[in-house]
Amino acid sequence: MEIWLTPWGFLRGAAAHTATVKSRKIDNVSYQVVTWSPAQKAPSGLPYQIAGYIGPDHLIDRVETWVEHPWMGDLHVEALYSGYRDAGGLKVPGRIALRQQGMESFVVVITEARANPSNIADLMTPPPAPARGPAPVAAPLASERLADGVYRITGGYVALAVELKDYVVVLEGGQSEARGLAILAETKRLFPAKRIKYVVNTHPHFDHAAGLPPFVAEGITILTDDNNKFFVEASLSQPRTLVGDTLAKARKKPKVEGVIDKLVLTDGARTIELHHVEKLEHSEGMLIAFLPKEKILFTADFNVPAAGQPISPSIATLVQNVERLQLDFERHVMVHPPNPDRPMTKADLLALAKGAN
Q: Look up residue 143 and give its amino acid.
A: S
CA dist., res. 257 & res. 168, Å (int):
16
- Among 80-84, 88-92, 121-125, the range scoring the smallest mean pLDDT is 88-92
CA dist., res. 238 & res. 357, Å (int):
43
Quick one: pLDDT at residue 223?
A: 98
Burial class (CB in 10 A: 0-12, 13-18, 19+), 101: middle
Q: Taking 60 as the threshold, does the pLDDT of residue 281 lie above it?
A: yes
Sign of CA dihedral 86, 90, 93, 96: negative
Model-level pTM?
0.89
What number is the average pLDDT over the span 296-325? 91
Q: Look up residue 141 and give its amino acid.
A: L
Percent of the chain surpassing pLDDT 90: 82
Q: Is the separation of the CB atoms in 22 and 31 below 8 Å?
A: no
Contacts for 29 with CB less than 8 Å, ≥ 6 apart? 55, 56
Percent of the chain surpassing pLDDT 70: 99
CA dihedral 106, 110, 111, 114 (to 10 degrees): 140
CA angle 141, 147, 152 (to 5 degrees): 20
- The residues that bridge with 296 in the sheet, in sequence order, are 291, 331
Contacts for 16 with CB less than 8 Å, ≥ 6 apart? none
Q: Is the separation of the CB atoms in 160 and 333 below 8 Å?
A: yes
Q: Is the separation of the CB atoms in 183 and 210 below 8 Å?
A: no
CA dist., res. 125 & res. 160, Å (int):
48
Max CA distance (Å), the chain: 77
- The residues that bridge with 267 in the sheet, in sequence order, are none
Q: Taking 70 as the threshold, does the pLDDT of residue 80 lie above it?
A: yes
Radius of gyration of the chain (CA): 25
Quick one: pLDDT at residue 311?
A: 86
Name the 3-class secondary structure at 317.
helix
Pairing between β-strand 331-334 and β-strand 296-299 as defined by DSSP bridges: parallel
C-alpha neighbours within 13 Å on the C-beta side of residue 21: 8
CA dist., res. 183 & res. 172, Å (int):
9
Reported confidence tier of residue 356, pLDDT bands at 50, 70, 90: low
Quick one: pLDDT at residue 357?
A: 56
Domains annotated for the chain, with CATH where assigned, are: 7-123 (no CATH), 142-356 (3.60.15.10)
Q: Taking 90 as the threshold, does the pLDDT of residue 339 lie above it?
A: no
Pairing between β-strand 95-100 and β-strand 103-109 as defined by DSSP bridges: antiparallel
CA dist., res. 357 & res. 348, Å (int):
15
CA dist., res. 198 & res. 219, Å (int):
9
- The residues that bridge with 265 in the sheet, in sequence order, are 272
Quick one: pLDDT at residue 45?
A: 96
CA dist., res. 153 & res. 333, Å (int):
11
Q: Look up residue 56 and give its amino acid.
A: P
